[in-house]
C-alpha cells in the first residue's frame, strides 16, 4: 500500500495519542483513610470539614484521579494500568459525618468513595452512626461499601478459654454476618474487608483470604505491582497528621519495592520487642538508596543495617523497646527523579503487656 500524506498523518496522530495515553498511565495508587469529618469528635480519628475540603481541593487542583478502591485493586490484580496520580478515598465505621460533611464536598467533584461498615452499629442505632436508609443514599450517590466485620471487635483476640479452632469459627461467623447484612440491606456483595482497629495477624489474614476478601489495613504506604492482597496499606488522615504537606506526601507516594520480608511475628510482648528484628530485601527502583530511612511510630529513627543479598541489598533493623499497643515502622526513600516524592512501606505489630494481657485489659 502506498503511504500517502493523509495515511501518514493519521498514523502520526494515532501514534501521538497512544504515546500521550501511555505517558498518563501508572502502576500504583495511594489510598486515604478518614473516620470522622467533624469539629467535635476525637482528634485522633478526625479531620475538620474545612480540612477535608482543603484535601479534596488539593487533589482536584493537582490533577489527581479518584477511583473506587475496588476498581483500583481489581485493576492492579489484573495487571491493568491506572491513570497517573490515582487515589482512593475511604472512610471506616460509617459515621454520620460522612453523609453530612464529606459527601457534599465529594459530590462537587463527582468523586466515588468507599465506606467500611460494621453492621451491628447500624442495626442497633449507635449514636453518630449512619442508618441503613442513609447508607442507601450514599450508595445512590456513588459510594462503594466494604465490610468492617459485624461487631467491630478486636478480631485477633481469643476469648478466655477459647481454642484456636473456636476462635477461627467465631471470627469467620462474625465476618460472614457482616457480609450478609450488607447484602440484605444494601444489595452489596463486596470483596473489601477493613481490619477493625487496623489489627491483624497471619491467622486472621488467612481467615480473611479464605473468604475471598482483600484485607485493608490502617498502615501507611502506596500500593503497586505485586501488592499483598491481605495487607493493603492506607494513609491515615487525622488531626496532627492532616496538613496539606502530609496529604501531598501521601497522595504522591510510591510503593517501596521490597521482598523476602521477615517480621518475626505480628504478636509481641512488652519487654521483649527489642530482641526482635525486621528485615527485607530491597529491589531496584526509582528511589535514592542513600536517603532510605526507617522510623518507629513515635518518630524515632532506627538504625538500618544493609548487607549484600542475592539480588541487591538486605535491610535489617532491631525493633524498638515498645510499650503495649499497635506499633508500626515506616520506611521511606526519596525519589531519585521527582521532587517531594517518596517511596514508602509500613509494617505493623501488636504488643501485649508484659504479663501477656492485651493492651487495654484490666
Tens digit of each residue's pLDDT (9 = 90 or more) over 150-171: 999 999 999 999 999 999 999 9
pLDDT the model gives residue 73:
98
Angstrom distance (rounded) from CA 148 to CA 178: 7
Q: Are 214 and 166 in contact (CB under 8 A)?
A: no
Query: For the residues 265-273, what does the mean pLDDT come to?
Result: 96
pLDDT score at 11: 37
Pairing of strands 305-309, 293-296: unpaired
- Residues 32-36 have a mean pLDDT of 98
Strand partners, 145: 115
Question: So what's the pLDDT on residue 4?
Answer: 46
How distant is the alpha carbon of residue 336 from its chain centre? 25
Could you tell me if 122 and 155 are in contact, meaning their C-beta atoms sit under 8 angstroms apart?
A: no
pLDDT at 6: 43
- What would be the CATH architecture of the domain defined by 26-255? Alpha-Beta Barrel (3.20)
Question: Is 21's pLDDT higher than 70?
Answer: no
What pLDDT sits at residue 7?
44
Q: Smallest Cα–Cα separation from 220: which of 37, 348, 86, 88?
A: 348
Strands 192-194 and 86-92: unpaired
Mean pLDDT of 183-199: 97
Predicted confidence at residue 3, as pLDDT, reads 41
Domain boundaries, the chain: 26-255, 256-362
Handedness of CA 91, 97, 101, 107 (dihedral sign): positive
Task: State the pTM of this model.
Answer: 0.91
Name the CATH architecture for the domain at 256-362. Answer: Sandwich (2.60)
Give the pLDDT confidence score for residue 14 in this predicted structure: 39
- Beta-sheet strands, E only, within 170-231: 192-194, 214-216
Residues 285 and 282: their CA atoms lie apart, in Å, by 9
Residues near 257 by beta carbon (within 8 Å), at least 6 away in sequence: 224, 226, 282, 283, 284, 285, 343
Q: What is the per-residue pLDDT for 24?
A: 65
User: Within 13 Å and on the Cβ side, how many CA atoms surround 319?
Assistant: 28
What confidence tier does 12 reach under pLDDT thresholds 50, 70, 90? very low
Residue of 101, 130, 104 lying closest to 117 (CA atoms): 130
Q: What SS3 state is found at 41?
A: coil
Greatest CA separation for the chain: 85
Contact 344, 293 (CB under 8 A): no
Mean pLDDT over residues 101-119, rounded? Answer: 98
What is the pLDDT averaged over residues 96-105?
Answer: 98
CA distance linking residue 167 with residue 273, whole number of Å: 25
Q: Of 67-81, 235-249, 328-342, which gets the smallest average pLDDT?
A: 235-249
For residue 9, is pLDDT > 70?
no
Q: Tell me if residue 322 falls in helix, strand or coil.
A: coil
Joined together, the cell numbers standing for residue 309 give 543479598
pLDDT, residue 360, reads 75
Percentage of the chain beyond pLDDT 70 is: 93
Is-contact 122 148, C-beta < 8 A?
A: no
Amino acid at each position: 500500500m502506498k503511504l500517502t500524506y493523509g495515511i501518514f498523518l493519521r498514523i502520526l496522530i494515532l501514534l501521538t495519542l497512544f504515546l500521550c495515553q501511555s505517558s498518563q498511565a501508572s502502576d500504583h495508587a495511594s489510598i486515604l483513610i478518614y473516620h470522622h469529618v467533624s469539629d467535635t469528635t476525637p482528634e485522633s480519628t478526625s479531620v475538620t470539614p474545612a480540612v477535608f475540603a482543603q484535601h479534596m481541593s488539593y487533589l482536584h487542583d493537582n490533577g489527581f484521579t479518584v477511583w473506587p478502591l475496588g476498581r483500583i485493586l481489581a485493576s492492579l490484580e489484573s495487571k491493568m494500568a491506572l491513570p497517573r496520580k490515582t487515589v482512593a478515598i475511604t472512610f471506616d465505621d460509617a459515621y454520620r459525618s460522612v453523609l453530612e460533611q464529606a459527601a457534599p464536598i465529594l459530590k462537587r467533584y463527582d468523586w466515588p468513595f468507599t465506606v467500611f461498615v460494621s453492621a451491628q452499629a447500624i442495626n442497633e442505632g449507635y449514636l453518630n452512626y449512619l442508618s441503613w436508609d442513609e447508607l442507601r443514599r450514599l450508595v445512590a450517590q456513588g459510594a462503594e461499601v466494604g465490610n468492617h466485620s459485624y461487631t467491630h471487635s478486636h478480631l485477633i483476640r481469643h476469648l478466655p478459654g477459647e481454642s484456636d479452632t473456636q476462635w477461627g469459627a467465631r471470627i469467620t461467623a462474625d465476618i460472614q454476618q457482616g457480609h450478609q447484612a450488607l447484602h440484605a440491606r444494601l444489595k452489596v456483595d463486596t470483596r473489601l474487608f477493613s481490619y477493625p482497629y487496623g489489627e491483624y495477624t497471619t491467622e486472621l489474614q488467612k481467615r480473611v483470604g479464605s473468604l475471598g476478601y482483600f484485607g485493608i489495613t490502617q498502615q501507611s504506604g502506596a500500593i503497586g505491582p505485586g501488592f499483598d492482597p491481605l495487607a493493603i496499606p492506607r494513609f491515615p488522615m487525622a488531626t496532627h497528621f492532616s496538613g496539606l504537606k502530609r496529604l501531598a506526601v501521601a497522595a504522591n507516594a510510591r510503593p517501596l519495592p521490597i521482598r523476602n520480608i521477615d517480621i518475626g511475628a505480628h504478636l509481641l510482648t512488652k519487654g521483649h520487642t527489642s530482641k526482635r528484628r525486621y528485615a527485607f530485601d530491597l529491589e531496584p527502583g526509582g528511589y535514592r538508596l542513600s536517603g532510605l530511612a526507617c522510623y518507629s511510630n513515635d518518630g524515632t529513627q532506627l538504625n538500618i543495617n544493609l548487607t549484600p543479598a542475592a539480588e541487591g541489598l538486605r535491610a535489617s533493623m532491631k525493633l524498638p523497646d515498645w510499650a503495649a499497643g499497635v506499633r508500626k515502622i515506616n520506611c521511606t526513600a526519596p525519589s531519585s527523579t521527582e521532587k517531594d516524592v517518596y517511596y514508602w512501606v509500613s509494617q505493623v505489630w501488636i504488643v501485649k503487656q508484659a504479663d501477656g494481657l492485651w493492651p487495654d485489659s484490666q
